[in-house]
C-alpha cells in the first residue's frame, strides 16, 4: 500500500500509524517513528501522542499481531470443530498458524523475536491468548491428557514449521503446498503407534 493510501485523513491517528508501521516493516524499510510518520502523512511529532518510542510502537504491533493470529486460529477451529478427529483440528490450526507467519513474516518475527516484557501487561495478555485457544482445543480433544504439555508440543510443531519456511530451510512454495506439508507432518505424528499398540503388536 502506498503512502498516499495510508495517509492520516480519518481521525484515527493510532490506527493510521500502526497500518503505516506494518507496511514499512513488511517492506523492509528503515523503521523509526519519523519514517512511520512520513509514510502515514503526519508530522514527525504526531506518533509521540500514542507511542513513547520505537519500542512502544513495536510492542503495539506485536499485540495487534497476537490478536490477529488468535482470530485466525479461532476461525480455523470454527471450521474444523469435530474434536473426534483431532488430526483434522490440529492440521487446521497448523495451516492457519504457518499461513499467518508466511503472509506477515516481519510482524511474526517481531511477535516472537524477543521475550515479552513482564512490565508490558498488554503484550503478555495478547501472547497468552494464543495459548488459551490451543489449550482449550487440546482439552476438548484429549480430556485425559496434560493439556499444557501437549499444547506446547503441538505449538512447537507449527512454530518450527513456520520458521523453517521463514528461514529458507524450505524453498518458497504456494500456500497449498505449505498446507500439504503441515498436513503431512501432523498426520505422521498422529500415525505413530502408542505404547499399548506396540505391546499388542509385539504379542500378536
Q: Tell me: do 62 and 99 sit in the same domain.
A: yes
Q: What is the mean pLDDT of each run of 10 residues along the chain (204 residues)?
A: 44 90 91 92 92 91 95 92 84 96 95 71 87 91 91 95 95 91 93 58 49
Query: Does residue 170 belong to any structural domain of this protein?
Result: yes
| pLDDT on residue 119 | 64
End-to-end CA distance of the chain: 64
Q: Which helix (H) or strand (E) holds 196?
A: helix 195-202
| pLDDT on residue 115 | 66
Angle at alpha carbon of residue 114, lines to 135 and 174, rounded to 5°: 70
Number of compact structural domains in the chain: 2
Q: Tell me: do 115 and 43 sit in the same domain.
A: no
Q: Which of 49, 65, 82 lies at the terminal end of a domain, its last residue?
A: 49
Query: Does residue 204 belong to any structural domain of this protein?
Result: no
Q: Give the span between the Cα atoms of 186 and 90, in whole angstroms.
A: 7
Task: Kindly report the CATH number assigned to the domain that includes residue 124.
Answer: 1.10.357.10
Show the domain range for 22. 3-49
Q: Give the span between the Cα atoms of 40 and 23, in whole angstroms.
A: 10
Q: Tell me: do 89 and 172 sit in the same domain.
A: yes
Which grid coordinates are listed for 51? 507511542
Amino acid at each position: 500500500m502506498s503512502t498516499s493510501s495510508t495517509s492520516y485523513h480519518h481521525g484515527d491517528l493510532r490506527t493510521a500509524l500502526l497500518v503505516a508501521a506494518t507496511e514499512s516493516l513488511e517492506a523492509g524499510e528503515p523503521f523509526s517513528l519519523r519514517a512511520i510518520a512520513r509514510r502515514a502523512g503526519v508530522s514527525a511529532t504526531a506518533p509521540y501522542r500514542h507511542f513513547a518510542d520505537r519500542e512502544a510502537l513495536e510492542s503495539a504491533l506485536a499485540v495487534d499481531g497476537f490478536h490477529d493470529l488468535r482470530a485466525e486460529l479461532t476461525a480455523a477451529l470454527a471450521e474444523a470443530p469435530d474434536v473426534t478427529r483431532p488430526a483434522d483440528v490440529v492440521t487446521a490450526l497448523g495451516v492457519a498458524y504457518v499461513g499467518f507467519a508466511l503472509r506477515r513474516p516481519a510482524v511474526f518475527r517481531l511477535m516472537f523475536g524477543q521475550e515479552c516484557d513482564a512490565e508490558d501487561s498488554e503484550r503478555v495478555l495478547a501472547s497468552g491468548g494464543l495459548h488459551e485457544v490451543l489449550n482449550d482445543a487440546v482439552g476438548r480433544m484429549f480430556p485425559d491428557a496434560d493439556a499444557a504439555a501437549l499444547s506446547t508440543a503441538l505449538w512447537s510443531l507449527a512454530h518450527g514449521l513456520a520458521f523453517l519456511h521463514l528461514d529458507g530451510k524450505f524453498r518458497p512454495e504456494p500456500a497449498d503446498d505449505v498446507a500439504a506439508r503441515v498436513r503431512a507432518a501432523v498426520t505422521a505424528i498422529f500415525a505413530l503407534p502408542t505404547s499399548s499398540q506396540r505391546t499388542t503388536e509385539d504379542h500378536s
